């Protein structure tokens, strides 16, 4: 697969537009919603775990180099940390929003 100049320019243009759009979206979110939204998006990014599992399968069964296997394993570990951290932060934020439940005295 060769990379032509028009394809490279299109890829760079798409990358710059994604950066601009991401910046505009993040700056429009109120500060009180930023942490819950970001932690939720980290938790949703579990698709990267599926990709890392696929890459590790290809690396170890496809006869690739040991380096590609270790990189796939590192990607799997980092994606797992990202997802678990996203769920942990989301749980804490939801706990802060819900507040403490009051015990009602039946008497």
How many angstroms separate the CA atoms of 67 and 55, rounded? 12
Helix ranges restricted to H, the chain: 5-28, 31-44, 47-61, 66-98
How many angstroms separate the CA atoms of 37 and 13, rounded? 27
| pTM exceeding the 0.75 threshold for the entire prediction | no
Chain mean position to CA 40: 9
- pLDDT tens-digit map of 23-77: 888 788 887 777 777 766 776 678 888 888 888 887 777 766 778 788 888 988 9
How many angstroms separate the CA atoms of 103 and 51, rounded? 46
Reported residue count of the chain is 107
């Amino acid at each position: 697969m060769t990379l032509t100049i028009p394809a490279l320019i299109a890829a760079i243009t798409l990358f710059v537009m994604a950066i601009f759009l991401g910046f505009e979206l993040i700056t429009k979110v109120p500060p009180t919603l930023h942490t819950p939204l970001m932690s939720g998006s980290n938790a949703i990014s579990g698709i990267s775990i599926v990709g890392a599992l696929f890459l590790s399968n290809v690396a170890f069964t496809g006869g690739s180099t040991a380096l590609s296997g270790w990189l796939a394993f590192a990607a799997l570990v980092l994606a797992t940390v990202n997802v678990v951290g996203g769920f942990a932060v989301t749980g804490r934020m939801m706990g802060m929003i819900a507040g403490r439940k009051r015990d009602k005295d039946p008497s």
